[in-house]
Structure 1
Amino acid sequence: MSQAHSQMSTAHLRETSNDPSRQSTLHRYREMLREPFAEFLGVAILIIFGAGVNCQVLLSSVSGVSSSPKGDYLAVSFGWAVGLCLGVWVSSGISPAHINPAVTLAMATWRGFPWKKVPGFIFAQTLGGFIGAAIIYANYFHAIDIFEGGAGIRTMKTAGVFGAYAIDYLTDVSAFFSEVLGTAILVLVIVALTDKKSTAPPPALFPLVIFLVILGISSSLGMQTGFSLNPARDFGPRLLSAAVGYPRTVFSFRHQYWLHTGIVAPLLGAQLAVALYDVFLYKQGDSLLSQV
């Protein structure tokens, strides 16, 4: 009986694999999801390393978590730089490796990236931020309990390991400017790297250059706002923090800081960067300016 059942199962599998309609349907869905999934995976990797190093540096400052502090601001800078570098490396062979809604929208506006792909990319990127943060939360759950002073206590003392929050003395306008500036520098380098008429490095070195850019931005400009530079990097983990019991302040902080500085500022910075590059440097015909 078992042999007959095995033969029937094998025959069924052969019929399924030889069914052109089923193959084409599966292939179509797979191809449709490959690029968004690569973006999802890239952002998840970014957050696993970035939020992970945030947790390790902050939580290890308490003796109940670690016998000695494990890292400092330089470690945070390296963690985020490594995360983005590896995220780009993993996704770049499949998707454009935007890993950032600000980059996706800038490429759609100025470089002819298909607008029909934009919603799927942004959803995948944001989901990647949420899932990456969920993985880190699960990994550091007990350490957060110890740091907060009890099981299930969640306050703004540890909310910053997930979302980005401006330092106390910084005004909202200054925080907005800082995020516009940092994102503009990041995207300016990206468009220079992808300009075929510039002296860009080989494509295989692209992630390494991104590593250096993030390391530089975080080391030089990141102290005051936490260098979000990416709506998916901030909003996805911020959603996770709200979902696991952090106070409503994660969204009400500084009159919806998450919106004007976490989302709008990077979007604006990316658009300004490509516009500046195209006005003064870009010579190819796929720019928005060539259509005006």
Structure 2
Amino acid sequence: MEREHRKPRKARCGLRHSIIKEFLAEFLGTFVLVLFGCGSVAQSVLSRGALGETFTINIGFTMGLMMAAYIAGGVSGAHVNPAVSLAMVILGKLKVVKFPVYVLAQLLGAFTGAAAVFGLYYDAFMDYTHGLLSVTGINATAHIFASYPARHLSVLNGFIDQVIGTGVLVLCILAIIDGKNIGAPRGMEPVAIGLIVMAIGVSMGLNCGYPVNPARDLGPRLFTAVAGWGMDVFSTAGYWWWIPVAGPMVGGIVGAVVYFLFIELHHAEPREERQQEEEEEEDEDDDDIKDNDEPLEK
């Protein structure tokens, strides 16, 4: 009886349109990514280093992306990043009409994730800042949610930083999900993808904290703009905000093109693979015949 009641309910509530299911998956996956990632930054900053530091932040974003991939991977592919979605469009793995839907879901998910972090640590924010939410200064907290450049970083170097970081991210993701490459064991793809973020964090985080994701940076930045930090989140550091948006998009294109030209383009087609296997079998048979035809000693 219980099963009979469950089936109609699921039939009534279950979504039929795939694009809506994919929207919800991308939204929830990005929400979890930002909740864990920005949450780890908030815990480190608001505790003044007592409950976190750079490595724990790397772990937070690594685990956030890993869990996001487990949540959304089977529904939408768990892009949770407009640069990844753009790369998939270029490679023909995502329909162009779905691209804006994915990006909107990712931005809303990141915005909501930032709001959740702020709500979770609201009292800690008020205690740390004495009620004054600032972008710069000794008690600045805007960098909890979005990236800001180190003092040594120029605009050009920052742009290059984001192109390289995102390019490597996309390149490695494509290698992991490539069925004709070594790939990762089924079900372990999210773990491998999470480790990419860990590698990027420990090797490319000095300049601006490796945002490598326009939604992860812009969504929380928009939240800070309306939640009390003001428009300084966009004008600070010479209007830096566009670098972690444009740079990753270019990086996504570069990573996709490089992987296609260097690896995917040269994969054998199924027919070619069969021909190669047949040729190898014929070579083995020829070797066996030669071994058997050796003259006997008199």
What TM-score do the two structures reach when normalised by structure 1? 0.83
**SS of alignment partner, residue 187 of structure 2:** helix
Q: Structure 1 CA distance, aligned partners of 2:186 and 2:79? A: 14
Q: Structure 2 CA distance, aligned partners of 1:24 and 1:209? A: 37
Q: Structure 1 CA distance, aligned partners of 2:186 and 2:142? A: 37
Equivalent runs, 1:215-254 vs 2, <5 Å? 215-254=198-237
Conservation of the 8 A alpha-carbon contact between 1:172 and 1:254: no
**SS of alignment partner, residue 196 of structure 1:** coil
Shift of 1:194: 1.9
Percent identity reads 33
**SS of alignment partner, residue 169 of structure 1:** coil
Choose the corresponding residue for 2:182, options 195, 199, 204.
199
Q: Structure 2 CA distance, aligned partners of 1:117 and 1:248? A: 31
Q: Which residue identity is paired with 2:66?
A: C
| Count of paired positions | 257
Aligned to 2:273: none
Query: Which structure has the larger Rg?
Result: 2
**SS of alignment partner, residue 250 of structure 2:** helix
Shift of 1:281: 1.2
* Structure 2 residue runs without a partner (length 5+): 270-298
**Residue 42 (str. 1) matches residue 29 (str. 2):** yes
**SS of alignment partner, residue 253 of structure 1:** helix
What TM-score do the two structures reach when normalised by structure 2? 0.82
**SS of alignment partner, residue 52 of structure 1:** helix
Aligned to 1:267: 249
Residues 98-126 of structure 1: CA deviation (Å, up to 9, x unaligned): 11000101100123410111111100000
Give the CA RMSD over aligned residues.
2.1
Conservation of the 8 A alpha-carbon contact between 1:106 and 1:270: yes
* Structure 1 residue runs without a partner (length 5+): 1-13, 62-67, 287-292
Aligned to 1:74: 55
Q: Structure 1 CA distance, aligned partners of 2:59 and 2:13? A: 43
Q: Structure 1 CA distance, aligned partners of 2:67 and 2:153? A: 32
Where do 4+ consecutive residues of structure 1 move more than 2 Å?
23-29, 253-256, 283-286
Q: Structure 2 CA distance, aligned partners of 1:114 and 1:235? A: 24
Q: Structure 2 CA distance, aligned partners of 1:203 and 1:227? A: 28
**SS of alignment partner, residue 177 of structure 1:** helix
Q: Structure 1 CA distance, aligned partners of 2:186 and 2:256? A: 20
